[in-house]
Amino acid sequence: QVQLVQSGAEVKKPGASVMVSCRVSGDTLTEVSLHWVRQVPGKGLEWMGGFDPENGDTIYAQKFQGRVSMTEDTSTDTAYLEMSSLTSEDTAMYFCAQGHGSGSYVWFDPWGQGALVTVSS
């Protein structure tokens, strides 16, 4: 059974970058399609992007294209989310989640515990 363990909380200043990690156990990263979802405090879930096995590429939500990069280190089974040009509106909990399905459907299970990123001057 796959488990996802994320890195700890981060505090960043506006304009900085942040990198959040998600380590996979119970399987190898090459067998898992990872996605990233964020949640602003008190708000709903927002998909940022993830691996699409149908085309074998990482896809990004339009809102985050150009500012977010999702990478993987298969030697350590760890995925990374890097976001640049942070503003206070990026203060949120960032979750990684395993995606299942492809094409016309996808669902997420399990989810990591989340990593809180706070952007404050």
Partner 1 sequence: SSELTQPPSASVSPGQTVSITCSGDKLRNKYASWYQQKAGQSPVLLIYQDKRRPSGIPERFSGSNSGNTATLTISVTQSMDEADYYCQAWDRSAGVVFGGGTKLTVL
Q: Which residues lie near partner 1 (CB under 8 A)?
A: 35, 37, 44-47, 49-50, 59-62, 95, 97, 100-101, 104-114
Q: Report, in Å, the least distance between residue 92 CB and partner 1.
A: 14
Select from 10, 6, 1 the least CA-distant residue to 78. 6
- Amino acid identity of residue 18, one-letter, is V
To the nearest whole angstrom, how small is the minimum distance from the Cβ of residue 45 to partner 1? 4
**Closest-CA residue to 108 (of 2, 25, 9):** 2
* 39: region left, alpha or beta (phi > 0 left; psi from -120 to 50 alpha): beta
Nearer to partner 1, 14 or 66 (CB): 66
Q: How far is the CB of 22 from partner 1 (least distance, A)?
A: 12
User: CB-wise, 11 or 45, nearer to partner 1?
Assistant: 45
